[in-house]
Chains A and B, each alone.
Chain A
Amino acid sequence: MTAPLFGPARRVFELTLGEMLWARRTAFMALAAGAPIVIAILARLAVVNGSAVLTVNGNRIGTQAMFETAVSVLYLRFIVPALGVFYGTSLIADEVEDRTITYLFTRPIARGAIVLGKYLAYLLCVAAVVLPSLALVFLIMVPFQNMGPLFGKLLTDLGILALGLAAYGALFLWAGVSFKRPLVGGLVFIFGWEPLAMVLPGYLRYLTIAHYLQASASNVASVLAITAAAVLLAMRTIQTREYVLEQ
């Protein structure tokens, strides 16, 4: 009784893309992607006016260093995990809460195709907003003469952000498929567990996604493996799970 996967997933993908534009969380995504651009403009203006925005031990921090801080703190520690948790948990949970899942579950498509199509739509949607946002911040913050040498670093950062969006989205997609109220647990994971585990000694950091988003070939493989495992697990869970809709 195996049904085709990719054709139906593509159709769910098309349907979900349109849906995501109208989702309640779209305003949050716009804010998340727009805020760094505004901060970058303000920082650049401050530097142009001669006042340093940040100083460390009396040393002025330039816009190039600020860009790197923006990537590691603003994007990787806040925007990417937050988008992953808000969107990932909602992909299926919203359909269940809104009771529209019935229309998807009573079509001749495998439930796994619904999960896959929705996940790919999420990935395209957030990547299309977050990656250009980072590129814009780079163009605003990094002085023109430094752009050439730093272009390779920008490409690496874009890749890491894409991997982060994929991994967090997949993990929280699985949480949304498996649990009734996944958002709170997701927020605790990204803003409680991850920062804590990253500073604790020992091996606890291996139980975070943030740890694997540090550029190295083995970490890239780990992030891809986490992503694939979470998506497959979500596809398997939805296949066997029963959703009792409230009337």
Chain B
Amino acid sequence: MIIAAEHLSKWYGHVSGLNDVTVSVPEGITGLLGPNGAGKSTFMKIVTGQLRPSTGSVRVFGEPIWGNPAQYRRLGFCPEQDAFYEHMTGMQWVEALARLHGMSHDAAQAAARQALDAVDLLDVGDRKIGAYSKGMRQRVKLAQAIVHEPQLLILDEPLSGMDPIMRRRTIRLITDWARAGRSVIVSSHILHEIEAMTANILLMHNGRVVAEGNVHQIRGLIDAQPHRVSIRAEQPRALAQQLLAGDDVSSVRFDGDAVIVETPRPDSFYARLTGIAASGEAGAVDEVTSPDDNLQAVFSYLVKS
């Protein structure tokens, strides 16, 4: 086990962020699935030693994490928040953070180049982060997390805001990372994202782990809910036309330059969207996001039953 949490609770004043969580995370990829406010980020912040549990304990690689900075040699964290030193270039930023791992200037530069290459940002590494798109910002965050080649990668909603092609590449990066014998904990509120990376999931709701194990067991429940996707594209109308041609889309509407799609079959839909984006027939697809109301409905159902 790489992470062992026992009776972990976290209170923010009178608000409960995590409620008596006892869980063991095995090696490989583990998906943390739950709607916003489920406690995923709180769990990740405790596991990465940024927050101290109110009660209970957590051990990473068999050692405590709070107040134990040596653990960060083996751990890389990609936070959810969109926060950067905006005036720095991607290369400068990743290199500066690599230097904090004790690397020499040359080693940090080489590691930063390698990390940026892994997330397909090497060609824009000399551009300021402030000028990056949402997807590029997500990827440069991922680059800083992998720059020191950690044994355990903890990723909080890493695919949020990425275009379909980058989403697919990032999923491949994560699965390759695990295939090389390292471990990943990745959170999302979108089942099919998690499913593309692992079958091993922890389901979280209201600060508790409500289920753990194989993703296929809850698959049917989630598919029964309509799945809503927001796509920001260069040519929204052309994209909508292409999407409506498939039988996996039940409705389409426009919201500014975004197309809001409802699909009863997310797998088929996302595969087709990636194909459309790759072909370029409907212009560039800049950003894909999915609200968590479909998952929220599933959790409401699970909690009631």
Contact = CB atoms under 8 A, between A and B. Distances in A.
B69 A110 contact: yes
B121 to A, nearest CB: 17
B100 A11 contact: yes
B38 to A, nearest CB: 13
Interface string A183-197: 000000000000000
Interface in B130-161: 144
Interface in B212-240: none
A76 B166 CA distance: 55
A105 interface: yes
A106 B72 contact: yes
A16 to B, nearest CB: 10
A244 B182 CA distance: 29
B84 A100 contact: yes
Interface in B31-86: 41, 48-52, 67-73, 75-77, 79-81, 83-85
A117 to B, nearest CB: 10
Contact of A239 (B67, B70, B77, B85): B67
B178 interface: no
A108 B69 contact: yes
Interface in B164-192: none
A176 interface: no
Contacts of B67: 1, 239-240
A218 interface: no
Contacts of A106: 48-50, 72, 75-77
A221 to B, nearest CB: 33
Given A14-B99, A106-B48, A98 B75 contact: no
Contacts of A7: 102
Interface residues of A, number: 31
A3 B69 contact: yes
Pick from A12, A104, A106, A240 the residue with the most CB of B within 10 Å: A106
Contact of A108 (B12, B81, B102): B102
Interface in A193-247: 239-240, 242-245, 247
A108 to B, nearest CB: 4
A30 B83 CA distance: 27
Nearest to A104: B100
A25 B171 CA distance: 41
Nearest to B108: A11
B97 A103 contact: yes
Contacts of B144: 103
A102 interface: yes
B83 A100 contact: yes
A100 B97 CA distance: 11
A14 B96 CA distance: 9
A244 B102 contact: no
Contact of B81 (A12, A102, A110, A242): A102
Contacts of B85: 19, 22, 100
Interface string A1-40: 1010001100110110011001000000000000000000
A109 B69 contact: yes
Contacts of A245: 81
A180 B67 CA distance: 21
A188 to B, nearest CB: 26
A242 B12 CA distance: 11
B12 to A, nearest CB: 6
Interface in B1-57: 12, 41, 48-52
Given A99-B83, A108-B72, A12 B50 contact: no
B81 A111 contact: no
A107 B83 contact: no
A14 B72 CA distance: 21
A18 to B, nearest CB: 7
Nearest to A7: B102
B107 to A, nearest CB: 13
Given A19-B85, A103-B144, A111 B100 contact: no
B100 A8 contact: yes
A43 to B, nearest CB: 37
A242 B46 CA distance: 11
Counting from the closest, the 5 A-B pairs by CB-CB distance are A99-B83, A107-B100, A108-B72, A106-B77, A22-B87
26 contacts: A1-B69, A3-B69, A8-B102, A11-B100, A14-B99, A15-B99, A18-B92, A22-B85, A98-B83, A100-B83, A102-B50, A102-B77, A102-B81, A102-B83, A103-B144, A107-B72, A108-B72, A108-B73, A108-B101, A108-B102, A109-B100, A239-B67, A242-B50, A245-B81, A247-B80, A247-B81
